[in-house]
Structure 1
Amino acid sequence: MLTADTRAVIKSTNTSDRGRASIKDVAALAGCGIATVSRVLNGSGPTSVATHDRVLAAAASLDFQLSDIGRSLRTQRTRTIGCVVPSIANPVFAQALQGLQRAARAAGHQLIVSGSNYTLDQELEAVTTLLGKQVDGLVLTVSDPETSQALDLVRERGLPHALMFNHAPSLAPCASVDNASAARLVADAFVDQGHRLLGFLALRFGSSDRSRQRFEGFGARLQEHGLEAPVLLEVDDEPAHLADHLPSLLDEHRYLTGIFASNDMLALAAMQAARTLSLRVPYDLSIVGFDGIAIGQMVEPTLATVQTDPEAMGTAAAETVLAALRNEQVSSSCDQTRFHFRPGGSLSRCRDDQTDSGEVAASPLPSPTHPREPSLKKD
């Protein structure tokens, strides 16, 4: 409770004509030293109850707030966490950012987000910029942890960090799903529906290690079923820019009865492209995605996919970085979030007449480091 003397001091002071109040103004109004004001407002040392009340009352009267810049100079912390993701247009990353932001705010940190647009140059530029802003920690989704210069830079700086979506437990703490294991579920689903000639649609592997891992898991499981490896259908562009050449790519591989897309946005784009070719999904072509974004259940037919929990990944990545900032020991292993196969109308039983005529053979499993270049020419 404020004393009568404190109220009197506040009444006698008017700073409206002096501009923004300083910590000296607060100290003068509260009748104490600047160091005492700093201890009270920062909660960094003991003071008497009366002094504590006078300082708070004076700061409130003057509408004074400690400078974040000044605080960061004293504590060597900016109370910010940086985050780099490939795209903020893909809902899966937006969901992850929700979990990340919630956990960061709960710990008193603000989030600074930058997009790399699936390019290595922009990935490195984004990390360099965030390091220049003196963020306390970083959460990253990189193109490939094995070769990422951006990740190497963060590790060299010794900055607390975690990977998000990237499954690379030997390189950094990460919050992800086991992409290869999840993709095996998709292979089982296709085989259960009688499909034998399958394709895998992905952004180029140089842009996404997640795509490569899903392709490897999918192909390995098909081979365990005694089937040919999937045909690799790589594209350069994000889904919004696929309208020009994705139809020709699908038209070139009409013998395929099913396509596994490395993410839901690509799967939805493939469904649209199939319609332009008068291919009926799933009667002529079954399509399965990966991620489980909500829009997949709002289209007709609904999208069969691997359901993941991006928000949980964001939360786990944030908690890893925050633990490191508290000087708690952080494991280098991955926090693997749950996943399951979600059936949908885009996957159905393969028709009896959709059989391998022998005219076109499925392609062998390409090397992840030297993937086969697909033809994008029009017939």
Structure 2
Amino acid sequence: MPSKPLHRPSILDIARDAGVSPATVSRAFNRPQLLKPDTLQRIERVARKSRFRPNRLGSGLRSGSTRTIGMALPTLRNPVFAECFEGAEAWAHDNGYSIMVTTTGYDVTREAAAVHSLIDHQVEGVLLAVANAARSATLRELAEDGLPYVLVYNESPSHPCVSVDNMAAAGDMLCWLAGQGHTRIALVTGPLAASDRARRRLQGARACARKLGLPPPAHLPMPSHTAADVGILRQALRERPAPTALFCSNDLLAVSVIAQLRALGLHVPQALSVCGFDGMHLAALMVPPLTTVEQPSRDIGATACAQLLARLRGESAVSLRLPHRLMAGGTVAAAAPSP
């Protein structure tokens, strides 16, 4: 049998039971400061008893403000992006906004479709990470339409953004590896076309190597941003001289690299050192803990949300770089002396 529709009390029901007009009930939930305290308490008491919830979307559409912002992230499988969302959502909630989130799978086509879907749902602004901020048609479209937006993780001189300095952070890690005696270092990344963050980390590592007079780090591009290809690793380790340290462009990729090395019979860090980038909380729970560059993902989300809400108030958004931190775990050991 078909289920019976759930009865939801309306403003008219609450007004009747509280002995006030529907307009007074509306003010109780939208502008409570305009009501006398005893009237407001009576309406709230009736609403709680009836389990009444105001229709925020309907009232928002009527007023021209949905109090909703959109967020488009590459994936939520990576804890870093989930932390970013949590930071943004907490800030939005504290300021009377909700967030509608969608994922793009590191795909430019899905990226555009995801943002279009958010716009169709009447969001007032967008937080997003794109594949390439310098070439993004999605960002150009948002700018042309006049819809406020702020980038998370991407760095750009042309678009408002909140990130870390990816080149400097990668340079700091490479310098630290060099301090551990590693001169043969390889950068492991996903497809650079789908992540300008990974590209900047590669550039930063290579710039630091030049400054230190080290050989240019090799580049091992993987088909995926979060999964290592054992064949590519096997071939890299057959090179002579082989790398002694693998610097991965994100922590999930580093975890996958360590697992694939173990499948090849190689233990980290005894046979090979491995480090990552992101500082996801799981990294500290690994055995041994992962050596990584920590970026404050929750703060990136919260700060970007604050900048977006400032834009919605008519203020100018400010691009910000938040501080990174090197976390020395147990997956990097001093390089063995060259034979």
Q: TM-score, normalised by structure 1?
A: 0.80
1:280 aligns with 2:271: no
CA contact (8 A) 1:283 1:351 kept: no
Structure 2 CA distance for aligned equivalents of residues 220 and 276 of structure 1: 33
- CA gap of 1:261–1:112, structure 2 versus 1, over 3 A, is same
Q: Which residue in 2 is equivalent to 1:339? A: 324
SS at match of 2:66: coil
Q: Which amino acid aligns with 1:148?
A: S
Counterpart residue number, 1:114: 102
Q: What is the rounded CA distance, in whole Å, between the counterparts of 1:249 and 1:165 in structure 2?
A: 32
Number of the residue aligned with 2:142: 154
Q: Residues of 2 paired with 1:301 and 1:291: CA distance?
A: 17
Q: Name the residue aligned to 2:3.
A: none
1:303 aligns with 2:290: yes
Letter in structure 2 aligned against 1:155: A
Q: For 1:327-374, what per-residue CA distance to the aligned partner results, in whole angstroms no more than 9, with x for missing partners?
A: 33322x2x22221222122222221236xxxxxxxxxxxxxxxxxxxx
Moved more, 213-222 or 91-100: 91-100
**Aligned residue number for residue 75 of structure 2:** 87
Question: Displacement of 1:271 after TM fit?
Answer: 1.6
Match of 1:290 in 2: 277
For 1:184-263, what aligned pairs fall within 5 Å after superposition?
184-240=171-227, 242-253=228-239, 255-263=242-250
2:336 counterpart of 1:348: no
* Residue matched to 1:4: none
For 2:288 and 2:19, locate their aligned partners in 1 and report how far apart those are by CA, in whole Å: 72
Distance 1:190 1:25 in 2: 68
CA distance in 1, matches of 2:45, 2:324: 53
Residues 191, 52 of structure 1: alpha-carbon distance in 2 compared, 3 angstrom cutoff: closer
Aligned amino acid, residue 329 of structure 2: G
Gaps of 5+ in 1: 1-17, 355-379
Count of residues in Structure 1 that have an aligned counterpart in Structure 2: 333
In structure 2, distance between residues paired with 1:22 and 1:304: 56
Q: Which of 61, 64, 71 in structure 1 is aligned with 2:59?
A: 71
What amino acid does structure 1 have at the position aligned with 2:131?
S
Structure 2 unaligned blocks of 5 or more: 1-5
> Shift of the alpha carbon at 1:213?
0.6
Change (3 A) 1:39 1:235: same
Residue 302 of structure 2 corresponds to residue 323 of structure 1:
no
How high is the TM-score relative to the length of structure 2?
0.88
Deviation at 1:23, TM superposition (A): 3.3
Q: What residue is the counterpart of 1:141 in the other structure?
A: 129
Partner of 1:97: 85
Note closer, same or farther for the CA distance 1:21–1:298 as it changes in structure 2 (3 Å cut).
closer
Cα deviation 1:113-158 (Å, max 9, x = unaligned):
1111111111111111111111122111111111122222222222
Answer yes or no: is the 8 Å Cα contact 2:266–2:272 preserved in 1.
Answer: yes
CA distance in 1, matches of 2:151, 2:222: 25
Q: Secondary structure at the match of 1:201?
A: strand
> Which whole-Å CA distance do the structure 2 matches of 1:106 and 1:142 have between them?
26
**How far did residue 293 of structure 1 move?**
1.6
Alignment partners' CA distance in 2, 1:57 and 1:64: 10
1:49 Cα deviation (Å)?
A: 6.0
Give the direction of change, closer, same or farther, for the CA distance of 1:31–1:214 in structure 2 (3 Å limit). same
Q: Distance between the aligned counterparts of 1:49 and 1:302, measured in 2?
A: 56
Pick the structure with more helix per residue.
2
Cα distance in 1, alignment partners of residues 61 and 149 from structure 2: 21
Q: 1:31 to 1:345 in 2, by over 3 A?
A: closer
Q: CA RMSD in A?
A: 2.5
Q: Note if contact 2:237-2:243 (Cα within 8 Å) is conserved in structure 1.
A: no
